[in-house]
Structure 1
Amino acid sequence: MPLRRSSSALALLGLTAAAALNAVPTTASAHGRSHDTAFKRLATFPAYLNSAIDDAAAAEISTVTEDGRTVVYTDSPGKRLGFVDITNPGKPSPAGTLAVGGEPISVAHLGHLLLAGVNTRESFTNPSGKLVVVDDRNRKVVREIDLGGQPDSVAVAPNPRKPRFEQLLPTAAGPEGVVAVPSRGLVIVSSETDDPDNNLRGAVNI
């Protein structure tokens, strides 16, 4: 069997100034003073280094732990989260994986908690998913919350005391059969400061 190397990789970038995109001329540039404001590639980390060279690994959505030492990424084909040690950003090293019982589609962090939206559907006609909460200090799953549908993304509210959000993908009939379509709806998940008996608050259509 020929070896397959996944082309998926994480590109680690460094930002040398705040105005990264140069969308608006700065006062300094207007007066002829230039600053290096571009992203610079520090290193590339092939996702297969966390598994095997013939593994169909992928690095998709990523976040960084609170201490800034570890990149966490979703690996949907492997049904796991991947970890990369960036203590030395120029030389990232594999730091293992964590199975999440489905296809992770997004990950974010809140303090020492990793919040992964996981697709667990068995078919397009039966969408399902969960929010997997992981303590990044010991990489143990501390809670799983059924979302009642297939998640699309995870975001943490700017105020940590506010709820977190999950977007769901319901199904609908189309010319090619039953497919998942965005509903532009949000599922509101309570944070640790809320009533622990009311984890899933409800849905909001926008």
Structure 2
Amino acid sequence: MFCYDHNTLIIMKFIFNTVKDQLEPVVTNSKGEYEINVDLQWSGTITPTKQGYTFSPPYYNFSNITEQQNMQNFIGNYSHSLWTFDVSNYKHQGMITAIVKDDNENLIQSEKDILAAFVNNECRGVSSPSPVSDGKRFFLQVWSNENSENMYFKFFDSTNNKIYNRVLPDVHFIPDLEYGTILSPAVLKVKQPYHIPDANNDGKVDIIDAVDVLKYITNFQ
């Protein structure tokens, strides 16, 4: 059984939630395939979830299952608005499973937070946190036409309505990249922007102020 992107039929990764009997969420593999093992005569609902996507069908209902269920596939439609891109423009994909922290090692994972990947200011993937058994993870699918290129990140903190343009470390993209797992996620850290003061009080911030600050730090005369 699979999940596909609506426009390109490229297989995506999604998390599935099942209701009744409180089954653990299931994550598809890198090919978009998923499998859920249930007891005989199990009843419940399988619902695909991924921030920024709607699905067709939105769910499957099952009642008193007595045999294997095949072809329970979903089509995902991308709908993020802050940063947008068209997956049909790219032929290679990778998956980043991550958590995001601030400089004080605090997790940042509100429901409406957004982690995005970029190359030369071109968005290559977006994700919001999804719940797993021990917290939340960003399942960020990234895209490229190159066999090797550097990707950097930006982060939208919905709680403080703030965009971080520095999120470290960068990632070296290769086709079928797998960076981080649910149990051992990649750790990305947002960085505050540098602020250089108007050191000489001339009403503007320029290279002279930067030199003055450097002199002060190094005690250079």
TM-score range, shorter chain: 0.3 to 0.5
Larger RCO, structures 1/2 (Cα 8 Å, 6+ apart) = 2
TM-score norm. by structure 2 comes to 0.31
The structure with the larger Rg is 2
